[in-house]
Amino acid sequence: MLFISSSIWAQKELDEKQRQQIIEKIIENKEGGADYTDLQDQLDLFLQNPLDINLCSIEQLRLLSILNELQIEAIINHRKKYGKFIEIQELQVIDIIPQSTLYTLIPFISIDRANVNIPSFKKMLKYSRHDIINLYQQQVQENEGQRRRIKNDTFDKPYYEGNSLRSVLRYKMSYKNYFSIGFTGEKDAGEQFGQGINKRGFDFNSAYIYIGERKYIKKLVIGDFNLMLAQGLTFGSGLSFGKSAMVTNVKRNNNGIRPYRSVNENEFLRGIGTTLAFGRTVLTVFASKKKIDGNINGDTLIGEDQSFTSIISSGLHRTKAEIVDKQTISQTLAGGRIAYKLKKLEIGASYAIIHFDQPLLKDLKPYNMYSFSGTTDKKAGIDYTWNYKNMMVFGETSKNLNGGWATINSILISLSQNLDYISVIRSYDKNFKPVLCNGWGENGQNENEQGWYNAISARFKKGFSFNAYFDIYRSPWLRYQINQPGTSGHDYLLELGYSPSKTFTGYIRLRSETKPLANTTEDYFKEITNYTRHSIRTNLQVKISRNLNMKSRLEISQWSSTSQQTQKGIICFQDFDWKSSTGKISITSRITMFDIDGFYSRIYSYEDDMIYTYSVPMFLNRGTRVFILSKIKIRRNVDLWFKIAHTQYKNISTIGSGLDQILVPYKTDIKLQLRISLGKKS
């Protein structure tokens, strides 16, 4: 070990670019709309307080979302077999972890030689870190909803009740992973602040108290939190990820209870949740009750029974119609999981009950025939994880107590030190009712789906790698706008990567999917046709100097069907990422050019953004987009971010529709964020 050397073991700094790259790798196949704040917050926690690889647990390594299950197991086994790591360099002898993964992992881990004991509450309070973050976001161009309010053109017309400013206030008091208190307040653009229905301030308010890593109490959250039980089939709330270029990272690893720090106003729990450990037995229990938004039927003023047709997840309360739907449904949840851990085997059993104060009655459509209706949903499930040498088998089977079954089973094998293989088989009955479920799958709803996923990850000499997956799936019953049963689809990804050093990374990726084409006419006798969408991407990232990085990308997409005209799309962008020698100023800029024929050939692209914010714009039509993001360290404990993004279209005269319509072919967004961090070092 004395003679092992590598350029990656230089003194490491808190590298926020690493966090951005991990997020992009995980979410780049997602089509916008999701909230990635939880993931950002977790990665930032480990940047500020790197994991001690001599003390960290399997669950903590999973939270990084960098390593697959076999790589995590290899680190733990190496520690058990050879004792504590003396230097981080020892990770290089674990063959199953490629060099490129180590580059990504290093900023988030450490070796702390200090004597580590569970800190007292007095010490945690004394040495806690305090973060105050204030974000302001403004769209420069006036949309129709704002124009009507400003011009007083509101007679018998919907309009936005509040101004166009979006603001978010966050406060977090924390001591490593042992203790934290947090508050989040948000006002969306168009919502009122300090007046109307929000006379007390923000439209959305969230808070929590978290205690972790005590003797018996592994996690305790009072207030707002998210929760994943096992593989998410019996119960799962919050964000989780599907297929990505990290092809073997399929296992749900959200580690049960976690504090809620995001601004999605419906997809979280409000109450109390805890995880207790007694030797080999681990118990998680939770209870929650809160109001959520929904479309209500019936009028109590004239004696009608109330029901709701759907849950509204946008969290927007800008117009009178949106305000009427705010917090109209009371949702009560309770449940838990008990697990028993042996040396190589873990077995768990879960139960969850969800109750609404009024019945859910969806539209009478054939595809809704087996969907959940009524006021109460109950599920029970069992799960397992078994490790044997270079193999891991895991899965979950859940029964809807007034419906069908859902099961997912996987095997992950390290065929050699340079080749991993995973196979996932899933079967979700058409009458399985996935209320607050978050299992892995194709359609986002764990119902009416059967599928088989296979993937390999190979590493070669001289920095080459190859990742691929193929997934085939079928829907036994009808789906929304798919008016025939038994439709099927498939998709695959092929990626060839090249990363010979920390200063150069490149890949070329081909992705293809074939699915049934939606029928918008509700003609149940019309033949279902398929569409195919291909995309190919080349991506190069080069470290030009100590202070300058560049990234270039070209992506082409094509959508085709026998019944509609072919659509094509292309985007290319160039990034420049510069940091001053002192590290006090950093600037990231990008210019993107795009030419997209239509909605079906649209392309999404992740953009660097401020901490706890994210941007995944959808590119459509023809034009250019430019953004500049700067971070200035004003003082040791004060950071200021500024971002301006401008999109100019060449083939359209207006942007958007309805109240969001802008009557010019360009749009400019401005963000300003300030973070103040206070606290003593222990």
Q: What are the mean pLDDT values of the chain's consecutive 10-residue runs (682 residues total)? A: 40 55 66 61 76 82 81 86 83 80 82 68 87 96 95 92 95 90 96 92 96 89 94 86 85 81 89 94 96 81 72 92 94 96 93 96 87 94 93 95 94 91 96 91 88 95 92 94 90 94 91 89 76 96 92 96 92 95 93 96 91 88 97 93 97 95 96 92 62
Calpha distance 96→390 (Å, rounded)? 10
Calpha distance 635→161 (Å, rounded)? 38
With respect to residue 583, please indicate whether it lies within any of the assigned structural domains: yes
At 120, list the tokens. Answer: 């007292």
The reported pLDDT for the residue numbered 27 is 65
At 526, list the tokens. Answer: 């019309």
The reported pLDDT for the residue numbered 246 is 86
With respect to residue 320, please indicate whether it lies within any of the assigned structural domains: no
Tell me, what DSSP letter sits at residue 473? E
Whether the CB-CB separation of 172 and 131 falls below 8 Å is answered with yes
Whether the CB-CB separation of 387 and 73 falls below 8 Å is answered with yes
Whether the CB-CB separation of 269 and 290 falls below 8 Å is answered with yes
The reported pLDDT for the residue numbered 34 is 54
What are the CA-CA distances from residue 507 to residues 456, 534, 590 (Å)?
Answer: 16, 17, 19
Of 394, 398, 452, 454, the C-alpha closest to 429 is: 398
Q: Residue 584 burial by CB count (10 A; 0-12/13-18/19+): exposed, middle or buried?
A: middle
Whether the CB-CB separation of 358 and 308 falls below 8 Å is answered with yes
Work out whether strand 51-52 and strand 109-110 pair parallel, antiparallel, or are unpaired. Answer: parallel
With respect to residue 92, please indicate whether it lies within any of the assigned structural domains: yes
Of 314, 434, 405, 330, the C-alpha closest to 375 is: 330
**Sign (positive or negative) of CA dihedral 208, 211, 217, 218:** positive
Q: Is 350 helix (H, G, I), strand (E, B) or coil?
A: strand
| Cα-to-chain-centroid distance, residue 665 | 31
Q: What phi, psi does 40 have (nearest 5°)? A: -60, -45
Residue the block writes with tokens 């979006």: 166
Calpha distance 635→259 (Å, rounded)? 29
Q: With DSSP H G I counted as helix, E B as strand and the rest as coil, what are the percentages for the chain, rounded to 5?
A: 15, 45, 40
The reported pLDDT for the residue numbered 681 is 65
Whether the CB-CB separation of 72 and 61 falls below 8 Å is answered with yes
The reported pLDDT for the residue numbered 126 is 86
> Which of residues 89, 117, 145 is at a domain's end?
117
With respect to residue 104, please indicate whether it lies within any of the assigned structural domains: yes
Tell me, what DSSP letter sits at residue 108? G
The reported pLDDT for the residue numbered 116 is 59
Cβ count near 512 (within 10 Å): 16
With respect to residue 553, please indicate whether it lies within any of the assigned structural domains: yes
The domain tally of the chain equals: 2
Of 564, 565, 588, 569, the C-alpha closest to 578 is: 588
**Sign (positive or negative) of CA dihedral 518, 520, 522, 525:** negative
348-363 in b/e burial notation, b at 16+ Cβ within 10 A? bbbbbebebebebeee
Rama region for 315: left / alpha / beta (φ>0; ψ in -120 to 50; rest): left
Task: Give the helix ranges, DSSP H, for 238-335.
Answer: 320-324
Residue the block writes with tokens 């150069």: 504
What are the CA-CA distances from residue 106 to residues 50, 88, 100, 209, 452 (Å)?
Answer: 9, 8, 10, 30, 34
Could you tell me which residues come within 8 angstroms of residue 582 by beta carbon, excluding any fewer than 6 positions away?
Answer: none
At 322, list the tokens. Answer: 């949106």
Calpha distance 50→15 (Å, rounded)? 12
Cβ count near 551 (within 10 Å): 19
Residue the block writes with tokens 């702390």: 112
| Cα-to-chain-centroid distance, residue 66 | 14
> Which of residues 117, 142, 163 is at a domain's end?
117
pTM: 0.88
Range of the domain at 98: 1-117
Please give the angle made by the CA atoms of 641, 29 and 496, to the nearest 5 degrees.
105
| Cα-to-chain-centroid distance, residue 327 | 24
Calpha distance 551→267 (Å, rounded)? 35
The reported pLDDT for the residue numbered 15 is 59
Of 459, 338, 415, 390, the C-alpha closest to 69 is: 390
Angle between helices 16-27 and 37-48 (to 10 degrees): 150
Could you tell me which residues come within 8 angstroms of residue 401 by beta carbon, excluding any fewer than 6 positions away?
Answer: 378, 379, 380
The reported pLDDT for the residue numbered 177 is 81
Extended strands (E) in 262-344: 269-278, 281-292, 294-297, 307-311, 329-341
> Which of residues 117, 138, 154 is at a domain's end?
117
With respect to residue 547, please indicate whether it lies within any of the assigned structural domains: yes
Of 180, 63, 55, 197, the C-alpha closest to 121 is: 180
Residue type, 655: I
Tell me, what DSSP letter sits at residue 236? B
Calpha distance 64→57 (Å, rounded)? 12
